[in-house]
C-alpha cells in the first residue's frame, strides 16, 4: 500500500499560539455560522471576519503555512463594476499574512495593476458573539443583546459584560493611506489606486479576558515554533513516512505547550476546541512522548496534582483523590451552567497519573519527582481501590452523579460510545475493559516506586492486587467464541459484547496472556476493525457502526498507536508494524503531515482518508503517535535511576534506516543509527554519554520491570 503524493486538507485552517487559537475557512475567512472564530479564555472573541471588495468576495489563488502560528493567503479580484467602469478580473493582487500568538495580527496588502487610476471600496466585516466554546462547537448560539461597540482613536473595541463575566476584543487598524469609516460591523476603506500602487493595512485583534490582555500580542515575524517554546527535542533522519510526521508531531507538541509558574509547561489537548488542561489526554500524551524529553510529563504531573480533588462534589463528579478531566474558563463554567471550571468526570486519569509518574522517573531518574508527586499518586490509587470501585468487586466502574456530567467517563466519552450489540446504550455503572488494564499497569508501576522508596511490603501488596485484577479481567471479559475481550461490563455485570478497539489498550498495559494477546491481534486486523489507515473504534459489523461518527467507527490515531505498542510488547512486531505503517501513511496523506484527533473510519479502498469535521488539528496525543512509533522501532526502555537504558531495535522492511540524536535518558544522551540488512536490524553506530546501554532485551519499551514478561 503506497502512500499518495496528494494530501487531504483539514476542514479548518487553524493557527494558534500562547493561549489563543483561530479556526477559519481554507480561504482565510471567518464565518459565525461555521465552526470558525478567534478563541481565548474558552470564548469566541471574534466570530466574523470577512473581507470584500465592492461587495464581492476575493478569489483565492493560494495559501501557505509557515508554522503553527502563521500563514499567508493570496487572492485576486473578480470582475467588478465601479464608478470608473468595469474593473477586469485579476487587476488587483491581495495578500493576507496572518499570525496568532496570544492575539491575531493581520497584514493586508493590495498591489494594483490597472491601466488607469481606479476607485474601489474595501470592507472588513468584524464582529463577535462572545459565545462560549461549547456553544460554538454544539452550534447552540444564544442571541447577544449586550455587546457594546466602542469607537477609539485607532480602532474600536467590542465589549461583552454579563454580571461579573467580562470579555472584550480590541481592534487596532493602521493603514498606509485612507482612514477607515465604521458602519455597524463594517470597517470601510475608500481606496484610490493608481497603476503600480501599493496599499497596506495592519490589523491587531487582542482578546481582553477579565479586564486583562490575554497574552502578549507581540512577536511579529516569528517563524519558528522553537522561539515560542524554547524546548529542544531529538533529531531524526529516516524515511519520509516516519521522519515527516515525527517532525510535525514534535513541532505541534511544543507549540501546544502551556506555560505555568514554577514548573515546566504541559501540553494542551488540542486546538481549537481543547486548548486547555485535559487530564486523560495530557497524561496519555506524556506517556506516549517520552522520547521527546520529560518536560510534558513533569509539567502535567504538577498541573494535575495541584488540582487533585480533596472532597466529594457531585456537581463536578469530584471525589477525594480524583484528577481533573478538564478545566474551562468560559461563561457557561463561570455561571455554573456546566461544571467545567474544574470537572472531574474521568475515571482513568488517577491510574494514568500513577503510570506517568512512574515513566517520568524511569526516563529521568529524578528522586525529587517521587518526593513531589508520590502522595498525589498514592491518593489517586486509593481512589481507584475505594471510590473508583463503586461496588467493591475489584473493578473500576463509572456513573455520573452530576446533572451535567458525562455519561461515559473512559477515553470514549461520547454519550453514545458504549453500546451493546443491538446498538442500545449500555447501562451504567460501566466497567470498560481498558480501565482495568490501566489499573493493572498502575499497580505494577507504583509497586516499583514503593520498592524504590523502601516500602517492600507495600510494593508486594500492589503486585498481588495487580494479579487479582488481571485474573478478574481474564475471567469476566474474555469472549472465547470471539477470541476477544468484551468492551465492558454493564450495570448488571453482564458483558457488553460489542467488538471495539478498547482491548488494544489491554495489550499496551501487558495484562493478557500471550495466547490471548495473539488472538486479540488477529481479531484487530480483520477487515471490520482495520481500515488500512488504522483501527476503527467500533467494528464495521456493529449495528450502530457509523464511520462519520465521533466514536462509533471512526479512526483515532492514538488508539491505533497504543494497540501497536501493545502488540510490540508481546513480540508481535509484524502486526504492530502493519498498524504503524497504516497510521503513518494516513499522516503523510493529510496536509502538513499532521494527524488529526480522529478521521472517518472508511475503508482504504474508498480513497484517501476522510477528515472528521470537528476534529482538533493538531491534537496532542495524535501528535505523539510518530514519537511513540520511533521509540518502538528503537526498542528503547529507559531505566535512568539505575544509569542505564535497554535497546532491542527492529526495523520493518518499509523503514530501512533510522538515525536519532539527542535522546535524553536521565543526565545522559544517546545518538543511534539503525539499518535493516536483509531480515536483520543492525546498530550501525551508537554514542551514549553518561548512560549505560544494555542490548537485547525483548521487553516492550513502555513500562514494567524490563525483566518482567507478560503472563504466559
Give pTM, 2 decimals: 0.93
pLDDT at 327: 96
pLDDT at 705: 43
pLDDT at 18: 86
Mean pLDDT calculated for residue range 78-88: 87
CB atoms within 10 A of CB 159: 18
pLDDT at 1: 42
> What is the residue-averaged pLDDT of the chain?
93
Tens of pLDDT, residue by residue over 682-709, are 999 999 999 999 987 544 444 444 334 4
Tens of pLDDT, residue by residue over 350-401, are 999 999 999 999 999 999 999 999 999 999 999 999 999 999 999 999 999 9
Mean pLDDT calculated for residue range 312-335: 97
Residue 60: φ, ψ to 5°: -75, 130
pLDDT at 7: 87
- Measured at the alpha carbon of residue 255, what is the angle toward residues 252 and 260, in degrees to the nearest 5? 135
**Among the listed residues 279, 263, 265, the one whose alpha carbon sits nearest the alpha carbon of residue 316:** 279
CB atoms within 10 A of CB 117: 12
Mean pLDDT calculated for residue range 411-429: 97
Tens of pLDDT, residue by residue over 613-624, are 999 999 999 999
Pairing assessment for the beta strands 484-485 and 478-479 based on DSSP bridges: antiparallel
- Domain annotation for the chain: domains and CATH numbers: 13-213 (2.70.98.40), 229-634 (1.50.10.10), 636-695 (no CATH)
CA dihedral sign of residues 297, 302, 303, 305: positive
Q: Is 201 in contact with 105 (CB distance < 8 Å)?
A: no
d(CA 515, CA 536): 23
Tens of pLDDT, residue by residue over 85-112, are 899 999 999 999 999 999 999 999 999 9
Percent of the chain at pLDDT above 70?
95
Tens of pLDDT, residue by residue over 520-574, are 999 999 999 999 999 999 999 999 999 999 999 999 999 999 999 999 999 999 9
Tens of pLDDT, residue by residue over 277-295, are 999 999 999 999 999 999 9
Answer with the residue of higher pLDDT: 260 or 708: 260
pLDDT at 123: 97
From residue 115, give the alpha-carbon distance in Å to each of 88, 89, 199, 312, 457. 10, 13, 17, 74, 89
d(CA 12, CA 418): 29
Strand segments (E) across 533-689: 636-639, 644-647, 657-665, 668-677, 680-689
224 pLDDT higher than 80:
no
pLDDT at 379: 98
At a CB cut-off of 8 Å and minimum separation 6, what does 529 contact?
499, 501, 523, 535, 536, 539, 540
**Among the listed residues 494, 355, 488, the one whose alpha carbon sits nearest the alpha carbon of residue 434:** 488
209 pLDDT higher than 60:
yes
How many Cα neighbours within 13 Å face the side chain of 654?
16
d(CA 274, CA 139): 16
Tens of pLDDT, residue by residue over 27-55, are 999 999 999 999 999 999 999 999 999 99
504 pLDDT higher than 90:
yes
pLDDT at 638: 95
| Cell triple for 456 | 517492600
**Among the listed residues 265, 289, 270, 280, the one whose alpha carbon sits nearest the alpha carbon of residue 360:** 289
Amino acid at each position: 500500500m503506497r502512500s499518495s503524493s496528494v494530501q487531504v486538507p483539514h476542514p479548518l485552517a487553524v493557527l494558534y499560539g500562547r493561549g489563543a487559537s483561530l479556526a477559519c475557512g481554507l480561504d482565510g475567512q471567518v464565518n459565525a455560522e461555521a465552526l470558525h472564530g478567534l478563541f481565548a479564555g474558552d470564548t469566541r472573541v471574534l466570530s466574523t471576519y470577512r473581507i470584500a471588495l465592492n461587495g464581492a468576495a476575493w478569489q483565492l489563488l493560494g495559501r501557505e503555512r509557515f508554522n503553527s502560528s502563521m500563514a499567508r493567503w493570496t487572492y485576486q479580484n473578480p470582475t467588478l463594476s465601479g464608478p470608473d467602469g468595469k474593473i477586469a478580473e485579476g487587476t488587483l493582487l491581495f495578500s493576507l499574512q496572518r499570525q496568532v500568538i496570544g492575539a491575531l495580527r493581520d497584514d493586508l496588502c493590495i498591489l494594483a495593476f490597472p491601466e488607469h487610476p481606479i476607485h474601489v471600496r474595501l470592507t472588513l466585516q468584524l464582529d463577535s458573539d462572545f459565545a462560549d466554546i461549547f456553544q460554538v462547537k454544539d452550534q447552540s448560539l444564544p442571541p447577544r443583546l449586550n455587546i457594546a461597540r466602542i469607537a477609539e482613536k485607532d480602532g474600536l473595541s467590542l465589549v461583552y459584560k454579563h454580571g461579573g463575566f467580562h470579555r472584550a476584543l480590541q481592534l487596532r487598524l493602521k493603514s498606509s493611506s485612507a482612514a477607515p469609516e465604521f458602519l455597524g460591523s463594517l470597517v470601510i476603506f475608500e481606496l484610490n489606486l493608481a497603476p503600480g500602487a501599493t496599499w497596506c493595512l495592519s490589523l491587531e485583534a487582542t482578546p481582553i479576558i477579565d479586564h486583562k490582555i490575554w497574552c502578549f500580542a507581540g512577536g511579529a515575524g516569528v517563524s519558528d515554533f522553537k522561539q515560542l517554546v524554547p524546548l529542544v527535542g531529538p533529531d531524526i533522519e529516516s524515511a519520509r513516512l516516519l521522519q515527516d510526521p515525527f517532525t510535525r508531531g514534535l513541532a505541534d507538541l511544543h507549540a501546544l505547550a502551556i506555560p505555568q509558574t514554577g514548573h515546566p509547561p504541559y501540553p494542551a489537548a488540542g486546538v481549537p476546541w481543547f486548548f486547555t488542561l485535559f487530564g486523560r489526554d495530557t497524561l496519555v500524551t506524556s506517556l506516549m512522548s517520552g522520547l521527546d524529553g520529560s518536560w510534558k510529563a513533569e509539567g502535567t504531573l504538577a498541573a494535575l496534582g495541584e488540582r487533585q480533588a480533596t472532597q466529594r462534589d457531585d456537581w463536578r463528579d469530584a471525589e477525594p483523590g480524583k484528577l481533573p478531566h478538564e478545566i474551562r474558563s468560559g461563561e457557561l463554567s463561570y455561571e455554573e451552567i456546566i461544571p467545567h471550571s474544574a470537572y472531574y468526570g474521568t475515571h482513568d486519569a488517577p491510574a494514568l497519573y500513577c503510570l506517568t509518574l512512574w515513566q517520568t522517573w524511569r526516563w529521568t531518574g529524578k528522586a525529587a519527582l517521587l518526593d513531589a508527586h508520590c502522595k498525589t499518586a498514592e491518593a489517586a490509587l486509593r481512589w481507584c481501590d475505594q471510590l473508583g470501585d463503586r461496588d467493591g468487586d475489584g473493578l473500576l466502574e463509572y456513573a455520573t452523579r452530576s446533572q451535567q456530567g458525562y455519561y461515559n467517563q473512559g477515553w470514549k466519552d461520547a454519550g453514545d460510545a458504549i453500546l451493546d450489540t443491538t446498538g442500545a446504550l449500555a447501562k451504567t455503572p460501566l466497567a470498560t475493559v481498558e480501565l482495568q488494564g490501566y489499573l493493572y499497569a498502575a499497580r505494577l508501576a507504583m509497586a516499583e516506586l514503593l520498592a524504590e522508596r523502601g516500602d517492600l511490603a507495600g510494593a508486594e501488596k500492589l503486585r498481588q492486587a495487580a494479579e487479582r485484577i488481571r485474573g478478574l479481567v481474564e475471567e469476566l471479559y474474555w469472549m472465547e467464541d470471539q477470541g476477544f475481550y468484551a468492551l465492558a461490563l454493564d450495570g448488571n455485570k453482564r458483558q457488553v459484547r460489542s467488538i471495539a478497539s478498547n482491548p488494544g489498550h489491554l495489550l499496551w498495559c501487558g495484562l493478557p496472556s500471550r495466547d490471548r494477546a495473539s488472538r486479540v491481534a488477529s481479531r484487530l486486523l480483520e477487515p471490520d476493525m482495520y481500515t488500512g489507515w488504522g483501527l476503527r473504534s467500533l467494528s464495521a459489523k456493529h449495528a450502530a457502526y457509523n464511520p462519520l461518527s465521533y466514536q462509533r467507527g471512526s479512526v483515532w490515531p492514538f488508539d491505533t498507536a497504543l494497540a501497536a505498542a501493545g502488540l510490540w510488547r508481546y513480540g508481535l512486531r509484524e502486526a504492530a508494524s502493519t498498524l504503524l505503517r497504516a497510521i503513518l501513511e494516513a499522516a503523510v496523506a493529510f496536509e502538513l503531515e499532521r494527524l488529526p484527533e480522529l478521521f472517518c473510519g472508511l475503508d482504504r479502498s474508498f480513497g484517501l482518508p476522510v477528515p472528521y469535521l470537528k476534529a482538533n488539528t493538531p491534537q496532542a496525543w495524535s501528535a505523539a503517535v510518530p514519537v511513540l512509533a520511533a521509540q518502538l522501532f528503537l526498542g528503547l526502555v529507559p531505566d535512568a535511576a539505575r544509569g542505564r537504558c535497554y535497546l532491542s531495535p527492529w526495523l520493518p522492511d518499509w523503514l530501512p534506516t533510522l538515525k536519532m540524536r539527542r535522546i535524553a535518558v536521565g543526565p545522559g544522551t544517546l545518538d543511534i543509527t539503525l539499518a535493516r540488512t536483509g531480515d536483520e536490524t543492525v546498530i550501525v553506530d551508537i554514542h551514549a554519554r553518561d548512560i549505560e546501554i544494555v542490548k537485547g532485551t525483548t521487553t516492550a519499551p513502555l513500562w514494567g520491570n524490563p525483566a518482567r514478561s507478560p503472563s504466559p
